[in-house]
Amino acid sequence: MSVPPANAVRLSSVRLDRGGRTILRGLDLDIPQGSMTTVLGPSGTGKSTLLAAITGELVPVEGRVEVFGTEVPRRPRPLLEMRKRLGVLLQGNGLLTDLTVAENVALPLRAHARLPEPVLHRLVAMKLDAVGLGAAADLYPRELSGGMARRAALARALALDPPLLLCDEPLTGLDPIASSVIMQLLRRLNQTLGLTCIVISHHVRETLPVCDQAVVIANGGIAFAGTPAALEASDDPLLRQFLNGDAEGPINFEGAPTAREAA
């Protein structure tokens, strides 16, 4: 009998508030180690809020968030130690414009690892080679295309060899080809390194084909969690509305006109 993989992330009865308002509630979710999960949902439904709970930026009002079997710490020092095991690819890349690509990738290594310069440079070169940017080490962020900048930010997120990678909207602003390159790269890293990867996105067609698990967040909670095939086969009206991009349906959009107003 095979033993199921341990969880990289587990949420149990989690409620998340911001500004005194409940954003997400009743969250129960397991993300197995070594898996690739996409968290989908319309803009503004709380996907990035979920990410903030996993990194410890946002403390749950209720429930428990665990990373690799341990509850996310609240004290600064243990939280910093936990975060060293997380790679985060920010929505806006977060590259420092006055530093070269190589210098950007070297930042986490300089902050958290005391390495001789030759070793540090070799590690930076390895990370850049892994994302196909070995020839771009001396370029500045302003000299990169959108897809190249996203890959440079990914190399920096992987600098400390984290076992868990969190990607916040990695496809925003990218054309379909660049989006495909990023998703295939994430999948390759997931498979070759055993990296657990969580991709926050609203790009359905680009993310579903390369993921093991799909989660849909809507109307303040988890509307679906399962395989991409099960999601696409679902006849649930809410899921069909999101997958088909329909304006009318069970998913509420703040500020969107009602059918009567639109008429």
Query: Any idea what the CATH number is for the domain that residue 221 is in?
Result: 3.40.50.300
Domain boundary among 161, 185, 203: 161
Q: Is the pLDDT of residue 208 over 90?
A: yes
Nearest to 136 by CA among 90, 170, 111, 105: 105
User: Are residues 46 and 72 located together in one domain of the fold?
Assistant: yes
65-96 pLDDT, tens digit each? 999 999 999 999 999 999 999 999 988 788 99
Phi first, then psi, for residue 223 (nearest 5°) are: -90, -20
Same domain, 26 and 75: yes
Phi–psi pair at 169, nearest 5 degrees: 50, 60
pLDDT(257) > 70: no
125 with 201, same domain: the answer is no
Judgement on whether residues 8 and 138 belong to the same structural domain of the protein: no
Name the residue with higher pLDDT: 260 or 217.
217
Q: Who wins on pLDDT, 74 or 256?
A: 74
Q: Which domain holds residue 152?
A: 95-161
Instruction: Please indicate, yes or no, whether residues 74 and 186 belong to a single structural domain of this protein.
Output: yes
**CA distance linking residue 106 with residue 124, whole number of Å:** 6
Same domain, 48 and 125: no
Checking if the pLDDT of 13 tops 90, the result is yes
Beta bridge partners of 221: 218
| Class of residue 76 by CB neighbours under 10 A (exposed 0-12, middle 13-18, buried 19+) | exposed
Confirm whether 257 is domain-assigned.
Answer: no
Does residue 146 sit in the same domain as residue 188? Answer: no
Q: Which residue in 55, 27, 13 sits closest to 198, CA to CA? A: 55
Per-residue pLDDT of 177-196, as tens digits, reads: 888 989 999 999 999 989 99
Average pLDDT over residues 18-26: 93
What are the tens digits of pLDDT across the range 153-181? Answer: 999 999 999 999 999 999 888 888 888 98
Residues 133, 180: one domain?
no
Residues 79 and 169 in one domain: yes
Question: Which of the listed residues 140, 161, 182 is the one where a domain comes to its end?
Answer: 161
Q: Is residue 48 included in any domain, yes or no?
A: yes
Helices of type H across the chain: 47-55, 76-83, 101-112, 117-130, 146-157, 176-193, 204-207, 228-233, 237-244, 259-262
Query: Can you list the pairs that 102-110 forms with residues at least 24 positions away whose Cβ atoms lie under 8 Å?
Result: 102/128, 102/137, 102/138, 104/141, 104/152, 104/153, 104/156, 105/152, 105/155, 105/156, 105/159, 106/159, 107/156, 107/159, 108/156, 108/159, 108/160, 109/159, 109/160
Count CA atoms within 13 Å of residue 118 on its CB side: 0
Asked whether residue 232 is assigned to any structural domain, the reply reads yes
Report if residue 253 sits inside a domain: no
Give percent of the chain above pLDDT 90: 71
Single residue among 161, 189, 215 that ends a domain in this structure: 161
> 119: burial class by Cβ within 10 Å (0-12, 13-18, 19+)?
exposed
Going 68 to 73 to 78 to 83, the CA torsion angle's sign is: positive
Whether residues 101 and 227 share a domain: the answer is no
Instruction: Please report the DSSP string for 93-117 in residue order.
Output: ----TTS-HHHHHHHHHHHH----H
Q: What is the pLDDT of residues 232-250, one digit of tens each?
A: 999 999 899 888 887 777 8
In a domain, 41, yes or no: yes
Say what the pLDDT of residue 248 is: 78
3-state class of 44 per DSSP? coil
Q: What pLDDT score does 214 carry?
A: 96
My answer on whether 1 and 58 are in the same domain is yes
Decide if 21 contacts 44 (C-beta within 8 A): no
- Provide the domain count of the chain: 2
Same domain, yes or no: 76 and 101 = no
pTM of the full structure? 0.89
